Amino acid sequence: MSSADVLNKAETVTCKIEWKLNDLHTYREFMPNEKCFSSKKFYNPQYRSAAWELRVYLYSSNNYATIVQVKQTLKVKFELYALDARGERVDIYP
């Protein structure tokens, strides 16, 4: 197997986290823009060194959610969504 074969081989690894932050609007006045809520680190048990966390920033005009890799650099594809007050899915990314 050549190095090109290794570089082009991709393995799909899945991981899921449910993180609940209720009534975000109530925290906005107490959180400076540069501060955020961070989830616990999560990972696929087969690849513990590839850990992630979710972060939510509460800006005065809007909320901002991001996924952050803790240690390694990886190429990933992900979906990020929230539930509104009625419990309905709201897509954040993509």
What pLDDT digit, counting tens, does each position of 14-33 carry?
Answer: 777 888 888 777 887 787 77
| pLDDT per position as a tens digit, 28-86 | 778 777 788 898 988 888 888 788 888 888 876 777 777 777 666 666 677 777 888 88
Model pTM? Answer: 0.65
- Is position 12 within any domain? no
Q: What's the CA gap between 65 and 38, in Å, rounded? A: 10
- Is position 14 within any domain? no
Q: From the CB of residue 84, how many other CB atoms can be counted at a distance below 10 Å? A: 8
Domain of residue 83, residue span: 22-93
Structural domains in the chain (count): 1
- Is position 15 within any domain? no
Identify the pLDDT of residue 60. 66
Give CB contacts under 8 A, 24+ apart, made by 29-35. Answer: 31/58, 33/57, 33/58, 33/59, 33/60
Identify the pLDDT of residue 64. 73
